[in-house]
Structure 1
Amino acid sequence: MSPEHDAMRLQLGAYVLGGLSAADRAAVEAHLASCVACRDELSSFAVVPALLARARDTVRDSAAAEPPPELLPRLVEAVRAERSTVRRHARRLRLATALTAAAAAVALVLSGVVLLDPFPDRDPTTPMTAAQGFTASGSAELEARPWGTTIVLDLWHLPRDGRFVAWAVAADGRREQAAIWGSTPNGRARVDGATSIPRTELGRVEVVTETGQTVLVTTT
């Protein structure tokens, strides 16, 4: 990998949280357009904003102090480290372990305010319906967690160019980005994501293009 690639990779955490200047953000997005490795890593960071939002809500409710500035670097490094040690395992196990490590990093900094349930409730697979003008198909697995909901998308026949974003939409209209990924040659994608929206409040999941066109939406 080149020094330029390493420099861009180090900015992915700040990019996910919207902490870059306009110029730096444009540079990262230009790099992502041609770098599959960084797009894959960016997808794994999609859980970070949701975890931070959930942790901040918990801190606010308990009248604790704001998270210290070193929280993001610790959290990002925890996710990176866990991803590198569990590559040989199945995708589902990798997601569960990475989320546990990320939540543990938050809990360490925030004095244990995040608790994990070892036996989350799993909903049956939810079908997804293609929007007008698209022939895509897919399904979503939604699992309740103490901090929100994990989202696993199994998608077929997506457009073969551009990037895609999965949005979690609450019943009251609140929206959170749950995952982001790039196109594949055969239009097939299996995507792991997460949101801080509780499963009981989650209204639907949408898959949209980078230009905002809706491709798929869960069928309730």
Structure 2
Amino acid sequence: MYKVMLIEDDHQLCGLIKENLERYGYEVILPQHFAHIEEEFLNIKPDLVLLDINLPYYDGYFLCRSIRQKSTVPILMISARSQEMDQILAIELGADDFITKPFTFDMLHSKVKATIRRVYGEYAVIDERNTRVGPLCLVEKTMTLEYKEAKVEVSKKVFKLLKKLMEKENSFVSREELIEEVWDSVSFVDDNTLTVNMTRIKQTLSELGLKDLIKSKRGVGYMLQYPAGE
């Protein structure tokens, strides 16, 4: 789950943005006090920052520059200011993109998703760290799933689904979040498509001698649960 720090002093807008992004599986965290944004940023360690320009204590430009001096985390600036110079200043201070108010939540989600994908996803430099759950290992470099001495190759879609499930071991992941992880859109993907790919994952695990690792709950989603003590 990607962690988004939302720095916006309009409480109503904050609530709407939080609700909208959490629907797509993001964890949205709001600052407790605008006078201590920099300290809270270091404690939260977000994957992405949504930053308004007009704020109490410090404006968004100051905070953008301050955050950029400490971190390469992607920053999306939000503002009712629509002048080109405002956008240029934001980019020059280190922002990755600029969203002008008023905006639709579809547009906001699209920009968040595109930024996450560019920085951490399929357009980013591939991180060769492997994902492990007990002796089960998902190897990014070779696109294989390994268990003890056995290994099987997996497709890109199966790889992404497995990675998400393994990262959230022992927790249910919603169908919507899994679809979003692989296909980028919930509305244009047949629900049966996910079911077919989950069946492939179960078959792949069976080939490795692992059965019943994937649990499903109607209306909730899927969970990977490796037996404790094995």
TM over 0.5: no
TM-score, structure 2 as length reference: 0.26
TM-score, structure 1 as length reference: 0.27
Higher relative contact order (CA 8 A, sep 6+): 1
Question: Could you say which structure has the higher strand fraction?
Answer: 1
Between structure 1 and structure 2, the one with the greater Rg is 2
